[in-house]
Amino acid sequence: MDPLDIMAMSTRQLSPTLISHEIGSDVELIIYHLIKRLQPDYEKVVVISFNDAYYSVVKYLRTVYPDAEVTLKNVALVSINPLLEESMNPDMVLSTNDPEIIGGRMRVTFSGMSNVLYVVLGLDIYGVRHTKDLPLMIPAITKTLSLGGNNGILMTFNVRLFPENIVELVNSFSLSVFRLSVKVEGESLKRVLTVVRSPFLEYNLKSWSYMVTKDGLIFMPEKELY
């Protein structure tokens, strides 16, 4: 099975889905292709963006895929503490760092909604600026968005920015976990996607290297070590 299919099907069946990543892994492109695949299965796609994270993602996507605007045109945007994102006319703006206030507003707005794909971006940026509040923010977001029926939740998190205990905390609130890493091989870099935890047991702990092309992503299975 294509690893993007594994990620998409895991999000449908066992959310929240966490994509842990590091700089250079092109997580923006993975998110884009997942939205593209999952969009037809949901009535609505809602991006929850901390500190202009979605703005940065869209800016990068425009340089890679000319159809990015078409794919993302119907996405609803919730901007938390935006600056640059205000130019994107978000559907909701929250100007607070308080996890309880943010979680409460999310509950009021989304608790009755079902069959929605939520994409949470920038939790890591929030965590760098408000480390002590991150352990409260993660459950406030994940539990609230899980209240409706048949909702999918995709989250990204740069694991290189935090100590192991914070990474484990984020993992503990995620039912499906995928890791994007970057390896140095000689004078080149290799991007690798690993299935850490998913409902498809036969694929867990399997890895693929991937390349970015103008037509999409090309995946190649990594050799298994025994």
Kindly report, residue by residue over 138-175, the tens digit of the pLDDT.
999 998 898 878 999 999 999 999 989 999 999 999 99
Query: Which residue(s) pair with 118 in the sheet?
Result: 46, 153
Enter the pTM of the model. Answer: 0.94
Over 50: is that where the pLDDT of 59 sits?
A: yes
pLDDT at 225: 53
Read off the pLDDT of each residue in 181-185 and give the average, rounded to a whole number.
90
Q: Which residue has the higher pLDDT, 77 or 143?
A: 77
Q: How far, in Å, CA of 187 to CA of 220, rounded?
A: 20
How does residue 86 score in pLDDT terms, banded at 50, 70 and 90? very high
Does the residue 87 lie in any domain? Answer: yes
CATH, residue 131: 3.40.50.11570
Does the residue 127 lie in any domain? Answer: yes
Does the residue 200 lie in any domain? Answer: no
| Cis peptide bond N-terminal to 16, omega within 30 | yes
pLDDT at 215: 83
Read off the pLDDT of each residue in 112-138 and give the average, rounded to a whole number.
93
Does the residue 190 lie in any domain? Answer: no
The range of the structural domain enclosing residue 156 comes to: 3-182
Report the mean per-residue pLDDT for the chain: 93
Does the residue 18 lie in any domain? Answer: yes
**Percent of the chain clearing pLDDT 90 (strictly above):** 81
Read off the pLDDT of each residue in 123-128 and give the average, rounded to a whole number.
94
Over 80: is that where the pLDDT of 226 sits?
A: no
Over 90: is that where the pLDDT of 95 sits?
A: yes
Does the residue 145 lie in any domain? Answer: yes
Q: How far, in Å, CA of 31 to CA of 34, rounded?
A: 5
Name the nearest CA neighbour of 137 among 126, 147, 145.
126
Does the residue 22 lie in any domain? Answer: yes
Number of folded domains in the chain?
A: 1
215, 60 Cβ separation under 8 angstroms: no
Does the residue 91 lie in any domain? Answer: yes
Q: How far, in Å, CA of 134 to CA of 99, rounded?
A: 8
Scored b (16 or more CB within 10 A) or e, 189-209 reads: eebbbbbebbebeebeebbbe
Read off the pLDDT of each residue in 105-116 and give the average, rounded to a whole number.
91
Backbone φ and ψ of 92, nearest 5°: -150, 140
